[in-house]
Chains A and B, each alone.
Chain A
């Protein structure tokens, strides 16, 4: 049982490059989400999904795309990276929101630097 797996752990990009941060969970969680964490800003919600085929925007969605074609995977795409996207990215998942406490399980994080 691997939990939430994020890849890569570290990535350096040049401005304008594209890339995908991968997130996979093996807990059959319906809910998945992406956050970014910057010093002094806390965790900010980028996009989230309540189930396969359903995605929605969070607090800071601009510059990021997501898709949820399977229950297990929730990739985050940066189409044209900008220095403002330098951050630590966390993927998190939980059981159905309707199940009450809906505790998030976080991945280990992906540190992205955009030059």
Chain B
């Protein structure tokens, strides 16, 4: 089976930094993804980690520790448009991509 845990909600202030954690226990591991989903819209891809370490992409960074079953998404210089849900997903061996329940981030001015 699989279990992917994320906090349900987070709040932060414009210009700040926020870290969204994701822990997972899956029957296999073949990569971890982060997606962003604005209310009423489809998810869009943010980042991908398959090896341990940090991947940086502009204001967004994602970290993975396979031995700990742990990842985080770091958002810097928060903007109002970053208010959205952030979905952690694990690709299991066998190609299935399983999502966590998502973290709803609200950014306040």
A residues touching B (Cβ–Cβ < 8 Å)? 31, 33, 35, 40-45, 48, 50, 56, 58-59, 90, 97, 100-104, 106-109
What residues on A are CB-neighbors of B99 within 8 Å? 35, 42-45
**A106 touching B96, Cβ below 8 Å:** no
Closest beta carbon of chain A to B103's beta carbon, Å: 10
**B97 touching A103, Cβ below 8 Å:** no
**B44 touching A106, Cβ below 8 Å:** yes
28 A-B residue pairs with Cβ-Cβ distance under 8 Å, sorted by A, are A33-B97, A35-B99, A40-B8, A41-B101, A42-B87, A42-B100, A42-B101, A43-B43, A43-B87, A43-B89, A43-B99, A45-B99, A50-B95, A56-B94, A56-B96, A58-B96, A90-B43, A100-B50, A101-B31, A102-B31, A103-B45, A104-B45, A106-B42, A106-B43, A107-B42, A108-B41, A108-B42, A109-B42
Closest beta carbon of chain A to B83's beta carbon, Å: 17
A61 to B100, CA, bound (A): 18
A40's partner among B87, B98, B101 (CB-CB below 8 A) is B101
Which are the 9 A-B pairs with shortest beta-carbon distances? A42-B101, A106-B42, A43-B99, A97-B95, A101-B48, A103-B45, A42-B99, A42-B102, A106-B43
Q: Is B33 an interface residue (CB 8 A)?
A: yes
